[in-house]
């Protein structure tokens, strides 16, 4: 379906003053090239200046049958006929023919030495390009300047080469050394002038590859960045040529030897079937292609891949003959994105367009071959030209424009956020539309340069009766051939060459917006309104792509220095920047209008309101103002608007609504989606809402929908904001603590604001969180643990919350202890163990230094939520205190907090999880002078397996604890330490201090254990030989009796 809108894309037209009747035209490089009827003279006119003044004119060497201009290299290439022979020629430096008597150099392809540039003067050169077959069509690559020539059954690719003056001089010196006499005069003349022309770049071509296509006869060819397109009468084939460093084997040549052709088919009409093959399937077509590389330099091989094949069946209908059903207007069109350099990179998008008289087809080739648009023409089209913004087509009596989808493809390649909740763009499959047509008489051809559309019209000299008879006579032909172009009658009634200027994209956009107001007034939800706004959006996107590439285009255009003054590039760049700002402003307005359309749209596409409103730059207050319902439907809000508003409120944004706007949001959801009111009230953007008004709405919701925990917490928050603490307490006591925790899990923003962007995002507590820290600290800690375990908050974010609350010395430690009980992640557990050990050590260190302080910190005096015994009983990471630690307990403790911190730290060291190596450096801060400090160091040494050293230290500091220590620690594999270490130590110390009752008692206990665990022989060896054997005899007797009983 093609939409038709009454928008006029043309602003002015002028007639080019041409002396002779034009035979054909082409344009490029800011110039219009006119080949006079008869074909032996080319005139160049400036289309960028008022009146299209003549730039230059020059004669050709034969009758021009085809002419093309290349932007890269600024050269012309022609197919010419002379004396029944066909030639291919390239014309370089044609701008220097402004002086009609200027000299012209003629040379063969690859012969550069005798050119005028070598002798110091820049002049136009005609390059003869020899071919083994007659050329039928030519095309120039707009990216590289390469040349593609279509012959009878072959395609020949010529690579554009540039050589500077210095390399040419070196080449000439080589020849002079070979033929010094013949080159002497030339060398003298060159020496006088070459110094001023060292930077002159000479263009030449190198035949690089030949493609053989035995089953297709090219009528038109196209070339763009490695893509090669061939058009026959009813077939289009697109190939991709890639230079490869790997040699290609003979077996890879895409050549077949099918005997499909019957030699004698003169009496039969073979109708081809319709066929469309895209991508890899295109290789299944019946057109074989083989590669013949002919480059003089070895730059690697070429690989060939099929991209697209399309074959049409002939369409006969009344009044149409075979010739009128043939393809025309083949074009490969590149498009660059704003972050690309035109001169250095391959295009982001490449499009292929071709047309039948009744329909045109636009394909996207890169990133997957896809048919973007099919254009259905209202009448027979003679020729079409694709541009960034529009498709220009001509019929016999009219010029018409259609919209294109190139910008939609480029936008998705340029921006990865397209088609997300962040950004949007109309789809590539959007139906095209036709704009208002411009009437002419007898149009024959069209070409486009920038905003200039060049039209050639000639009056038809045949009478209608003659035309009808000719049509009927040709329609009887049964052969698939096309006749040669009809020459214009010498008795023609007239001709004209028009330059029609299109309006600027911004002007056309504004006209589209004015046109769309008609739909907006009658039916704001009309599909035509959305389609027209989408067309305007794509028009602006194409313009932004074009403005971003204008600077690169001007730099890459060799004609630019000849056309502009020294100060004009800066002015042009300033103008481009101004245009871009205006286009971006218009794009924002268009996004707002599209957002309005989708905000009231159906459920299928209402989600598009969100990205379009985001791209518009409107605030949420402005969006709300645009979506207020009409008085006739006071409770009707569009699904797209509600979708946008929910996403805005659910996201963590710094934009805080005023009280008026926040109350309006409450009203909107209370009318449209009451179930979302809790989430809306919890949004950080709604902190300015009226609590009394909101509370009434929430109470009404509770009466109608029933009681729920999140709703109760929200109502309690409103009471808190109203400073009604009794009602707040009553509401919070409705539900058990565990149910309240589940409520916070369901809506975490009741406790926390911020944090949507990850752990480094600023997060802050709510008023409810601050109140819970005062009145229900256990509930707050449990809720924070639940939020962490449900991935609602990060550990660092929770720490930040407690610091904001001023509870880093109390509730934060309680949170860590609770996390240690709940978490199952090993990395989190180790981090928490280290933090808790550090806190306990700090408390033990500071308790001594702060014991004499008059005003200790208030938070440190609060009783912890969990005591050491609670943690030992409920958390596996806290171990039971070793029995010998009770012996080492200090007789006098400065505070209960000191004793609690000591027991928790001892419990961690007695537990299985804490790594002694990680806390060892921290324990160095604690002195061993105190008994509790000594106990911690002894625990670490024991955990490290340093039993010998521990026994010695314990006997030195607290020998009364040695038996309890040995009974607990010296078991199993460490049992031998009783007689290997402990017994000798006690013997030695007792001998030195015979009156020490503690040591004697420990020695007796040790001997009892040794007697139980050793044999009599082993025990006998342990008795010292210092004359005290009688002391050990009772224990030896007990050992012997036990051994006999065993």
- pLDDT tens digits for range 876-913: 999 999 999 988 876 566 678 888 899 999 999 999 99
* Cα 708–Cα 711–Cα 717 angle in degrees, nearest 5: 140
Tens digit of pLDDT for each residue in 497-542? 999 999 999 999 999 999 888 877 777 777 888 999 999 999 999 9
Residue 995: pLDDT over 80:
no
CB 618 within 8 A of CB 640: no
Bridge partner residues of 152 (DSSP): none
Q: Region 1011-1026: what's the mean pLDDT?
A: 86
Query: For residue 482, is pLDDT > 50?
Result: no
Look at strands 104-108 and 124-128 and give their pairing: parallel
Query: What's the rounded Cα separation, in Å, for the pair 904 and 11?
Result: 86
Section 401-413 average pLDDT: 92
Length of the chain: 1046
List pLDDT tens digits, range 579-628.
889 999 999 999 999 999 999 877 788 999 999 999 999 999 999 999 88
More confident: 30 or 341:
30
* Cross-strand partners of 79: 66, 88
Confidence of residue 460 (pLDDT cuts 50, 70, 90): low
Task: Determine the pLDDT at residue 480.
Answer: 33
What pLDDT sits at residue 347?
87
Nearest to 388 by CA among 338, 436, 344: 338
pLDDT the model gives residue 110: 80
pLDDT at 20: 86
Distance CA 132, CA 212 (A): 13
CA dist 323 and 491 (Å) reads: 25
Q: How confident is the model at residue 550 (pLDDT cuts 50, 70, 90)?
A: low
**Alpha-carbon gap, residue 849 to 852, rounded angstroms:** 7
Do residues 812 and 799 touch, judged by C-beta distance below 8 A? Answer: yes
Predicted local distance difference test score (pLDDT) of residue 250: 40
| Phi, psi dihedral angles at 351 (to 5 degrees) | -115, 150
Return the pLDDT at 710: 96
* Alpha-carbon separation of residue 1021 from 980, 1017, 1018, 1029, 1040 (angstroms): 12, 6, 5, 11, 14
User: Which H/E stretch holds residue 265?
Assistant: none
- What is the pLDDT averaged over residues 989-1009? 86
Kindly report, residue by residue over 799-834, the tens digit of the pLDDT. Answer: 999 999 988 778 999 999 999 999 989 999 999 999
Using alpha carbons, select from 357, 337, 352 the residue that is nearest to residue 223: 352
* Token digits of residue 217: 């006869």
C-alpha 818/C-alpha 812 separation (Å) is 10
In this prediction, residue 856 has a pLDDT band, given cuts at 50, 70 and 90, of very low
Q: Do 842 and 813 meet the contact criterion of CB atoms below 8 Å apart? A: no
Joined together, the tokens standing for residue 177 give 């050394």
What pLDDT does residue 236 have?
95
DSSP 3-state helix, strand, coil percentages of the chain (rounded to 5)?
45, 20, 35
Reply yes or no on whether the pLDDT at 392 is more than 80.
Answer: yes
Note the pLDDT of residue 111.
79
Rounded Cα distance, 844 and 46, in Å: 91
Residue 183 pLDDT exceeds 50: no
Please report which confidence band the pLDDT of residue 196 belongs to, taking 50, 70 and 90 as the band edges.
very low
Q: In the predicted model, is pLDDT for residue 168 greater than 80? A: no
Q: What is residue 592's predicted lDDT score, i.e. its pLDDT? A: 95
Strands 433-434 and 3-4: parallel
At residue 827, the 3 state secondary structure works out as helix
Band (565; pLDDT cuts 50, 70, 90) = very low
Dihedral (CA of 851, 852, 856, 862) sign: positive
CA distances from 812 to 818, 821, 823 (A): 10, 14, 16
Picking from 530, 541, 531, the residue whose alpha carbon sits closest to that of residue 506 is: 541
For residue 360, what pLDDT is reported?
Answer: 95
Token duo for residue 706: 């029933």
Residue 514 contacts by C-beta under 8 Å, 6 or more apart in sequence?
Answer: none
Report CA-CA distances (Å) from 208 to 61, 254, 344, 485.
26, 18, 21, 31
Mention every residue, 6+ apart, whose C-beta is less than 8 A from residue 676.
646, 669
pLDDT band at 547 (very low <50, low <70, confident <90, very high): low
- Give 481's DSSP letter: -
Instruction: Determine the Cα angle at 238 with ends 233 and 242, to 5°.
Output: 150
Q: From residue 1029, how far is each of 88, 641, 1035 by CA, in Å? A: 126, 100, 10
More confident residue, 87 or 3: 87
Tokens at residue 55, please? Answer: 């730039």
Bridge partners for 497 per DSSP: 456
Q: Among 242-256, 395-409, 860-874, which is the least confidently predicted range?
A: 242-256
What value does the mean pLDDT take over residues 258-269? Answer: 45
Q: What would the pLDDT profile of 524-534 be if each residue is shown by its tens digit?
A: 777 888 999 99
For 847-870, what is the mean pLDDT?
Answer: 63
- Residue 346 CA to residue 144 CA, distance in Å, equals 9
Residue 180 has pLDDT above 50, yes or no: no
Does residue 159 register a pLDDT over 50?
yes
Q: How far apart are CA 950 and CA 974, in angstroms?
A: 13
The tokens of 85 are what? 């022979």
pLDDT of the residue at 586: 94
pLDDT tens digits, 710-737: 999 999 999 999 999 999 999 999 999 9
CB 54 within 8 A of CB 38: no
Q: Between the CA of residue 1038 and those of 769, 798, 900, 1015, what are the distances in Å?
A: 70, 64, 45, 11
Residues linked to residue 177 through DSSP beta bridges, in sequence order? none
Structure confidence at residue 121 as a pLDDT band (50, 70, 90) = low
554-571: average pLDDT: 47
Between 270-274, 610-614, 957-961, 967-971, the lowest mean confidence (pLDDT) is in: 270-274
What pLDDT is recorded for position 632? 63
| Mean predicted lDDT score pLDDT of the chain | 82
Integer angstrom CA distances of residue 303 from 221, 253, 290, 306, 647: 19, 9, 10, 10, 50
Q: How confident is the model at residue 771 (pLDDT cuts 50, 70, 90)?
A: very high
């Amino acid at each position: 379906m093609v939409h038709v809108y009454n928008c006029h894309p043309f602003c002015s037209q002028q007639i080019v003053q041409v002396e002779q009747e034009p035979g054909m035209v082409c344009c490029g490089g800011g110039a219009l090239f006119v080949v006079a009827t008869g074909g032996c003279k080319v005139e160049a006119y400036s289309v960028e200046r008022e009146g299209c003044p003549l730039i230059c004119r020059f004669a050709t060497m034969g009758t021009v049958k085809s002419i093309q201009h290349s932007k890269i290299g600024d050269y012309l290439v022609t197919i010419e006929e002379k004396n029944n022979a066909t030639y291919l020629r390239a014309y370089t430096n044609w701008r220097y023919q402004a002086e009609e008597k200027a000299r012209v150099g003629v040379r063969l392809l690859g012969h550069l030495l005798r050119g005028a540039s070598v002798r110091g003067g820049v002049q136009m050169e005609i390059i003869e390009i020899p071919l083994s077959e007659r050329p039928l069509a030519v095309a120039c690559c707009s990216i590289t300047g390469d040349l593609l020539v279509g012959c009878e059954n072959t395609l020949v690719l010529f690579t554009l080469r540039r050589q500077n003056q210095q390399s040419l001089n070196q080449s000439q010196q080589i020849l002079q050394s070979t033929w010094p006499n013949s080159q002497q005069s030339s060398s003298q003349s060159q020496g006088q002038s070459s110094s001023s022309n060292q930077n002159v770049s000479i263009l030449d071509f190198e035949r690089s590859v030949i493609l053989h296509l035995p089953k297709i006869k090219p009528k038109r060819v196209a070339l763009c960045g490695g893509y090669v397109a061939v058009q026959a009468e009813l077939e289009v084939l697109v190939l991709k040529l890639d230079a490869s460093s790997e040699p290609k084997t003979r077996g890879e040549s895409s050549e077949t030897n099918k005997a499909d052709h019957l030699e004698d088919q003169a009496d039969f009409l073979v109708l081809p079937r319709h066929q469309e093959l895209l991508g890899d399937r295109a290789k299944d077509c019946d057109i074989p292609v083989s590669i013949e590389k002919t480059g003089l330099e070895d730059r690697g091989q070429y690989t060939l891949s099929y991209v697209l094949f399309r074959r049409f069946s002939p369409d006969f209908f009344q009044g149409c003959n075979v010739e009128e059903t043939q393809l025309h207007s083949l074009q490969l069109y590149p498009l660059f994105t704003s972050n690309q350099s035109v001169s250095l990179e391959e295009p982001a998008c490449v499009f292929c367009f071709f047309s039948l008289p009744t329909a045109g087809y636009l394909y996207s080739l890169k990133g997957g071959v896809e048919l973007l648009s099919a254009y259905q023409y209202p009448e027979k089209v003679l020729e079409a030209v694709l541009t960034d913004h529009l498709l220009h087509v001509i019929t016999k009596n009219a010029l018409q424009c259609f919209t294109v989808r190139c910008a939609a493809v480029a936008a998705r390649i340029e921006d990865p956020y397209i088609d997300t909740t962040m950004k949007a763009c109309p789809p590539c499959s959007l139906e095209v539309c036709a704009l208002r047509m411009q009437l002419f008489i007898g149009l024959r051809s069209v070409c486009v340069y920038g905003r200039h559309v060049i039209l050639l019209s000639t009056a038809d000299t045949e009478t209608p009766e003659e035309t009808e008879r000719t049509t009927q006579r040709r329609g009887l032909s049964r052969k698939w051939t096309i006749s040669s172009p009809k020459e214009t009658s010498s008795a023609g009634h007239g001709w004209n060459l028009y330059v029609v200027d299109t309006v600027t994209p911004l002007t056309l956009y504004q006209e589209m917006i004015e046109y769309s107001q008609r739909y907006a007034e009658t039916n704001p939800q009309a599909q035509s309104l959305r389609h027209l706004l989408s067309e305007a959006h794509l028009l602006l996107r194409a313009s932004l792509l074009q403005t971003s590439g204008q600077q690169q285009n001007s730099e890459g255009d060799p004609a630019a220095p000849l056309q502009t003054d020294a100060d004009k590039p800066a002015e042009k760049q300033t103008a481009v920047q101004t245009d871009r700002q205006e286009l971006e402003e218009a794009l924002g307005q268009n996004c707002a209008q599209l957002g309005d359309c989708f905000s009231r749209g159906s459920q299928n596409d209402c989600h598009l309101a969100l990205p379009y409103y985001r791209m518009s730059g409107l605030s949420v207050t402005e969006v709300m103002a645009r979506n207020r319902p009409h008085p006739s439907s006071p409770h009707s809000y569009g699904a797209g608007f509600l979708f946008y508003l929910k996403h805005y409120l659910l996201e963590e944004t710094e934009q805080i609504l005023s009280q008026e706007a926040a109350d309006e949001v409450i009203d909107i959801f209370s009318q449209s989606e009451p179930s979302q009111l809790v989430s809306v009230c919890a949004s950080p953007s709604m902190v300015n809402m009226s609590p009394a008004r909101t509370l009434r709405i929430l109470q009404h919701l509770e009466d109608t929908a029933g009681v729920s925990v999140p709703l109760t917490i929200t109502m309690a928050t409103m009471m808190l904001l109203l400073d009604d603490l009794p009602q707040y307490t009553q509401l919070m006591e409705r539900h058990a603590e565990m149910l309240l925790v589940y409520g916070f899990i369901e809506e975490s923003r009741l406790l926390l604001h911020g944090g949507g962007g990850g752990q480094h995002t600023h997060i802050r507590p709510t008023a409810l969180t601050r109140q819970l820290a005062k009145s229900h600290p256990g509930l707050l800690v449990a809720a924070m643990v639940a939020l962490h375990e449900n991935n609602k908050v990060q550990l660092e974010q929770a720490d930040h919350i407690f610091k904001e609350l001023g509870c880093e010395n109390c509730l934060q430690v309680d949170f860590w202890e609770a996390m240690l009980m709940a978490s199952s992640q090993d990395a989190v557990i180790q981090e928490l163990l280290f933090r808790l050990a550090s806190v306990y050590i700090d408390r033990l260190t500071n308790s001594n230094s702060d014991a004499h302080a008059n005003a200790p910190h208030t938070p440190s005096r609060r009783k912890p939520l969990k005591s050491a015994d609670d943690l030992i009983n409920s958390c596996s990471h806290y171990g039971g205190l070793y029995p010998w630690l009770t012996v080492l307990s200090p007789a006098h403790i400065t505070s209960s907090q000191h004793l609690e911190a000591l027991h928790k730290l001892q419990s961690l060291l007695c537990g299985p999880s804490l790594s002694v190596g990680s806390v060892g450096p921290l324990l160095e801060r604690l002195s061993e002078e105190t008994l509790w400090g000594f106990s911690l160091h002894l625990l670490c040494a024991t955990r490290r397996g340093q039993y010998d050293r521990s026994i010695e230290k314990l006997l030195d500091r607290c020998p009364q604890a040695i038996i309890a220590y040995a009974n607990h620690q010296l078991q199993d594999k460490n049992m031998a330490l009783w007689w290997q270490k402990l017994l000798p130590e006690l013997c030695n110390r007792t001998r030195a201090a015979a009156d020490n009752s503690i040591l004697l008692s420990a020695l007796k206990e040790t001997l009892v254990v040794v007697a139980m665990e050793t044999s009599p022989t082993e025990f006998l060896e342990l008795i010292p030989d210092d004359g005290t054997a009688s002391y050990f005899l009772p224990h030896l007797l007990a050992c012997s009796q036990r051994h006999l009983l065993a």
